[in-house]
Structure 1
Amino acid sequence: MNIWIFNHYAIAPGASGGTRHYDLARELVKHNYNVTIFASSFTHQERKERYIPEKHLRWKEEQYNGVRFVWIKTPAYKKNDWRRVANMLSYTIHAYLLGKKRKEKPDLIIGTLMHPLAALVGCLLAKKFNCTFYFEERDLWPQTLIDLGKVSERNPVVWMLRQLELFLYRNARRIIVLFDKADKYVAQQGIDTEKVLYLPNGADLQRYEQQALLSADLERLFASLENKLIVTYTGAHGIANHLDPVLDAAGILKDRNHHIHFLMIGDGPEKQRLVERARKEKLTNITFIPPVKKEEVPEILLRSDVGLISMQDAEIYKWGFSLNKMYDYMAAKLPIVLLCQLPETPIETSGAGLKVSNPQEMAQALQWLAINQTALHQMGEKGRFYVESNHSWEKLAHRFINVIEEDLSYGGCDRLAVAPVQVGATKEGRKLNI
């Protein structure tokens, strides 16, 4: 069975960023599926050309552990301006043309919304090949942009995005969502929730079963932090990541507890401002680190003591959340300190850490953990049990395969009237829980 995945920002091993589709595809390959991921050769996290250094090439095909990647050369950009828009349009056009010219016929196409045009390419090609189309809505566009204050609901672009979202909903055999309550969001758009497939993010647990060496700089850093409580954040440094409260907590602790140190790993549009703020406030208990390879993340977390998450008080989170970093922390048995305003989160239900509502509480929680090694250990074990039970890619892929087999046994995207397998009742209808 041939599966095509269109994800503009997908990455392969050795790069920095999320590996959701590679991890899923690698498990599918183990079950004799052929998986091809169409992605840009210019990496969004690193803001550089990684996969096609040759100037004369416009695309390249490579294979990683049985997973095929079709890399598409797109223009470079440094920030969210017209150059990034040009990058999106370039990917959209060339991904469609390359898919159209391929000799093999896909059985299933997954179009993922990191931006909506990639999902549209998947939908159009599914129609051309008369195959099944799954629409994966990674973020609830355009609602996420509205709730995070990036655009006004009256913006004409929002209206266009709404229409595109509805088009993709209506033409998909399945609507894949990452948030556990997102089926209610889909229902609000007038779409039957029988289409909804809940497939959250997960963790590759095997990456956390062995120790590894880090770069010389990281080895020196960890050696300098021996006997300190290492509090680590991994991921993007953007407005949505709400990292100022972390610096607030560091400011509270810098003179109060010299045995707590923060590591901030990653990049993003807010990073330089945060680095400058830390310098001005003389926050010597915080170290900013550039993006690292995905393969280095497990070892960094295994050498840390606490994982950190800070979330905006935004309406969008009422539909739930599925953060890669949360499952990575759990896989490494790191207790989590989560700053958010949500009434209930997996941190409380699993017992994997502490939820706080402001920087003062964050500082207090870290001080408490610094002197309670038993609590650190117990929370870490509970988090590991939770991710093993609910978010290992091996289990997620197995359940996903069951859905694919059920859907494709009915034919293709011309059979949308056939009722899908139903698991997990909701008030609006039924959704599949993976």
Structure 2
Amino acid sequence: MPRKWVTMNIWIFNHYAKAPGSSGGSRHYDLAKYLKKNGHNVTIFAASFHHQQKEEMLDEKESYRVEDYDGVQFVWIKTLSYYNNGLKRAMNMVNYFTNSLKVYKLIDETPNIVIGSLVHPLAAYLGYHVAKNKNCLFYFEERDLWPQTLIDLGKFSKKNPAVMILDKLELFLYKRAQRIIVLFDKAPDYVKSRGIKENKILYLPNGIDLERFANTMDNAPQDIEDLYAEIENKFIVVYVGSHGIPNHLDPIVDTAKLLLNNENVHFVFIGTGSEKERLQNRSQQEGINNITFTSPISKDYIPYVLEKSSLGIISMKDSPLYKWGFSMNKLYDYMAAGLPVILHYNGPFNVIEQSRGINKVINSDEAATTIEHISEGNYDYPIMSQGSRDYVEKYHSWERLAEYLEKVMFEDLKVK
């Protein structure tokens, strides 16, 4: 049967998946949107408790809810609420696993392929269990290299009992998956080092929905509109994302401090996280008044914000974690908006060799100098802007990534 007449039913188990309009990553919704456009049905099983916003979306008596978002079906699984990374969060993970085991049986559909996404191991194993019971193909999506990440960060040794259990689970899922999806460019090398054949590995990085940037909203939340109206004549350096320890935002604050005498440059931090209050207090105590901190916004408004900004900025801690590469949504958002990017990072990064829009700096002095030069026109801004946009169109468009995944799935299902 010709491929264009074949409809696949694809189920994705991702504890932390987000619907459109939410803050946070939207990897699976964006992927599903384009698979749906190609004629396929996608159902995403996600927790009802929003990890970033710490909000519960189901009523007290609901055990699950099915909702449709422009043809993409979400099954919201009732889970325990939590407000930090303690015991209740662990219980929330177990909740998702045990409750999903009951709910998936109530969905009147037979999947062709089930994807179990490892944000935590139970969700990935859940995908395997469902695929086995539904007698369909299983894809293991390893978004973080567990337990290797814990070892690389120096948190655990290879002989730690928890690491040894995770190690066995990882290999178990590798061997039973039809495909192993990885997000980092060098992650295939890690998977191969575990004795897995290369033809099982599928590199599918994070992407960007370019349609969202082609249809920029005319307005945004009032506080954002007021802020940008106030600083519209300045060179605006924007950071959009989490404000946590891994985001390493102090070097950006240091950069802003070095530019205090340049009244033309202003920094905007959009988001929330465990470090936000400390960063705000630090800025206030040190008189760093060229930074404005604002609340997180819906992903729908990010193109509006970036269109009114001049430069995107990211800071990354030097860590062995990144030896396998990385795939950051905020970077692709910046580039899709045609923003040049300052990347504060002292490690290798292949994208720099492929894009003319990224400036890698190794310290805050270099970052401040580069920002000043760009703001004064000493760099060819149009070329940098076009370099950013060209790169994401070629390598990170969700439309293209969905077509690639569809092609692989057809091959695995032996659809000609």
Q: Common fold, TM-score beyond 0.5?
A: yes
1:141-160 Cα distance to aligned partner (Å, 9 max, x none): 12223333444544322222
Residues 1:162 and 2:167 aligned together = yes
Quote the residue 2:53 is aligned against: 46
Quote the residue 1:7 is aligned against: 14
Quote the residue 2:193 is aligned against: 188
Higher deviation after alignment, 165-174 or 59-68: 165-174
Quote the residue 1:217 is aligned against: 223
CA distance in 1, matches of 2:413, 2:248: 42
CA distance in 1, matches of 2:215, 2:352: 25
CA distance in 1, matches of 2:415, 2:37: 24
CA distance in 1, matches of 2:24, 2:132: 31
CA distance in 1, matches of 2:172, 2:105: 21
Aligned counterpart in structure 2 of residue 141 of structure 1, from 146, 154, 162: 146
Quote the residue 1:416 is aligned against: none
CA distance in 2, matches of 1:224, 1:321: 35
TM-score with structure 2 setting the length = 0.95
* Structure 2, gaps ≥5 residues long: 1-7
Quote the residue 2:356 is aligned against: 351
User: Pairwise mapping of residues 238-249 of structure 1 onto structure 2 (< 5 A)?
Assistant: 238-249=244-255
TM-score with structure 1 setting the length = 0.91
1:297-333 Cα distance to aligned partner (Å, 9 max, x none): 1111111110111111111212111111111111100
Amino acid at match of 1:361: E
Question: Do the aligned partners of 2:373 and 2:379 also contact (CA within 8 Å) in 1?
Answer: no
Quote the residue 1:267 is aligned against: 272
Question: Do the aligned partners of 1:79 and 1:269 also contact (CA within 8 Å) in 2?
Answer: no
Give the paired residue count.
408
Quote the residue 1:56 is aligned against: 61
**Superposed CA RMSD:** 1.6
CA change 1:103–1:210 in 2 (3 A) is: closer
* Structure 1, gaps ≥5 residues long: 412-434
1:273-305 Cα distance to aligned partner (Å, 9 max, x none): 222222222211111111110101111111111
Quote the residue 2:75 is aligned against: 70
CA distance in 1, matches of 2:271, 2:162: 30
1:31-82 Cα distance to aligned partner (Å, 9 max, x none): 1111100001111111111x31x21111100000100000012111111111
Aligned counterpart in structure 2 of residue 378 of structure 1, from 376, 380, 383: 383
CA distance in 2, matches of 1:5, 1:368: 46
Residues 1:87 and 2:80 aligned together = no
Quote the residue 1:414 is aligned against: none
Amino acid at match of 2:358: G
CA change 1:371–1:228 in 2 (3 A) is: same
Quote the residue 2:343 is aligned against: 338
Question: Do the aligned partners of 2:14 and 2:45 also contact (CA within 8 Å) in 1?
Answer: yes
Percent sequence identity is 51
Question: Do the aligned partners of 1:46 and 1:291 also contact (CA within 8 Å) in 2?
Answer: no
Residues 1:311 and 2:320 aligned together = no
1:113-146 Cα distance to aligned partner (Å, 9 max, x none): 1111101100011111111000001111122233
CA change 1:400–1:91 in 2 (3 A) is: same
Residues 1:389 and 2:394 aligned together = yes
CA distance in 2, matches of 1:150, 1:275: 29
- Please report how far the alpha carbon of residue 359 of structure 1 lies from its aligned counterpart in structure 2 after TM superposition: 1.1
- What secondary structure sits across from 1:226 in the alignment? coil
